[in-house]
Amino acid sequence: MLIGYARCSTDQQSVTVQIEMLKAAGSERIFSENASGIITDRRGLAKAISALGPVDVLCVTKLDRLGRSLKDVLNTLQTITEKGAGFKVLDNPALDTSNAYGQLLLNVLGALAQFERDLIIARTSEGRARAKAAGRRFGPEAQPNGTLASRGPRAPKTGRDADGFGRKLRREPFNDFEAW
């Protein structure tokens, strides 16, 4: 079964055109929502994915409807693949995991994402090693008695707000009356 997913970023936009395209492509069920692509936890997308069964295909009109970043798209595609379902983009026939070419392209994209993650880890490790070689220490400093140093004053456990506590420590006058 072909299951469609349509998304617009704002309430001022409409998913009508996307829904018409998904229907024309043969989608039997369509899930839609107005939510920013930067939000990774979208209810409409979650419902569409949960409706997928083995051999079903999730269909979108454009790849950016699925997510804003490559990482988010690949995570979503992994979830879809784990369910035994496929994925199809209407405006890019190459992104159709129901054929060998689409599977190859998906695997290349996944390999590039893994390569990027490995580079980030390597750069971070190199930076930490250089900092250690330069004598920089990480974490809280140890006290002579073996305990770790405090990172700063702690608010008393009185239920008072931290901003008021900070003003009191700095001995700044209060701008208005606050009941402590």
Q: What is the Cα 67 distance to its own chain's centre? A: 9
Return all residues near 149 (Cβ < 8 A) that are at least 6 apart.
140, 141, 142, 143
What is residue 141's DSSP assignment?
P
Q: 88-121 burial, b if ≥16 CB within 10 A, otherwise e?
A: bbbeeeebbbeeeebeebbeeeeeebeeeeeeee
Tell me the H-state helices in the chain.
Answer: 16-24, 43-51, 70-82, 100-133, 162-170
Active site residue 9: yes
Return all residues near 84 (Cβ < 8 A) that are at least 6 apart.
53, 54, 55
Evaluate whether 64 touches 37 at the Cβ level (below 8 Å): yes
**Exactly one of 9, 14, 69, 125 is catalytic; which is it?**
9
One-letter amino acid of 63: L
Active-site amino acid positions? 9
